[in-house]
Structure 1
């Protein structure tokens, strides 16, 4: 089962390495990790996706709480959440294939964000299955490069903000 952890941490050098190291030392795999600043100055949020069982995840959460720079740990997969991944893909194009590719992008709500004489860069967001399906359709045109963020997520609904 996939678990999506939201880990609120101090925005300090070395915190990412300590969190990733915790997983590595215990031989737990991180499927993806996405880190960015939050609405609170000085804090960052890590979204960590892993495929461990529930018992192992309880251990992971307890170990994360022991790290000095960790403020809060939530398993978002226990609740309703909104989750997305961002993908940039560079596709080889010819004058004849440009309109075909645009026709493929429309149903995926993907956008061309850069154009050059022999390639385009496409931006798409969604769940892994949607992005994989888009890649399958773009492969015949020649994929030159792919960059994916990994999952970022947020619990649905209102959350009480501490005062």
Structure 2
């Protein structure tokens, strides 16, 4: 069976220790978390965790069953295989030597991102999109000289039926 990426959306009580228990469930069983993003929902006492992990379908089903057994877990959804919107945000600090500045600004324009900080020797770029968009911009900026990257990890929601 092939391992593929799976996106899990988990609603939990917004309480101390919940994230630790969920991460412990993954690490204790040797499962890897590729990315994790967590924030409060519109209800302040509920948080949404978006976890991206790899595994075959039986493994993902086992993970979901174990997550559902945790006390503070309200609902677990697997988004993979359904219609959903997924985004990630990255801040990319790029070396901005005078001879590269025009090229960096062209890349920023092409990818519809923005420069959020300018220094004497760098630009910091904010880019939002799917994993493919982030990979593409990183591959174009690498030859110019990436100094630092900070990424949020995936966030995702089901699409509404039309």
- TM-score when normalising by structure 2: 0.94
- Counterpart in the other structure of 2:57: 54
Structure 1: 4+ residue segments shifted above 2 A = none
Task: For residue 138 of structure 2, give the secondary structure of its aligned residue in structure 1.
Answer: helix
1:95-127 CA deviation, whole Å, 9 max, x = no partner?
Answer: 332121111111211110111111110010111
Aligned residues: 158
Query: Quick check: which one's helix share is greater?
Result: 1
Matched, 1:93 2:85: no
Shift of 1:41: 1.7
- Counterpart in the other structure of 1:147: 150
- Range that drifts further, 127-136 or 115-124: 127-136
Matched, 1:40 2:43: yes
Matched, 1:133 2:136: yes
- Counterpart in the other structure of 1:120: 123
Which of the residues 96, 103, 106 maps onto 1:103?
Answer: 106
Shift of 1:78: 2.8
- Counterpart in the other structure of 2:34: 31
- Counterpart in the other structure of 2:75: 72
Unaligned regions of 5+ residues in structure 1, if any?
Answer: 159-163
Which of the residues 82, 88, 104 maps onto 2:85?
Answer: 82
- TM-score when normalising by structure 1: 0.93
1:74-103 CA deviation, whole Å, 9 max, x = no partner?
Answer: 001131000011010000112332121111
Alpha-carbon distance between aligned partners in 2 of 1:86 and 1:125, rounded to the nearest angstrom:
4
Alpha-carbon distance between aligned partners in 2 of 1:101 and 1:78, rounded to the nearest angstrom:
36
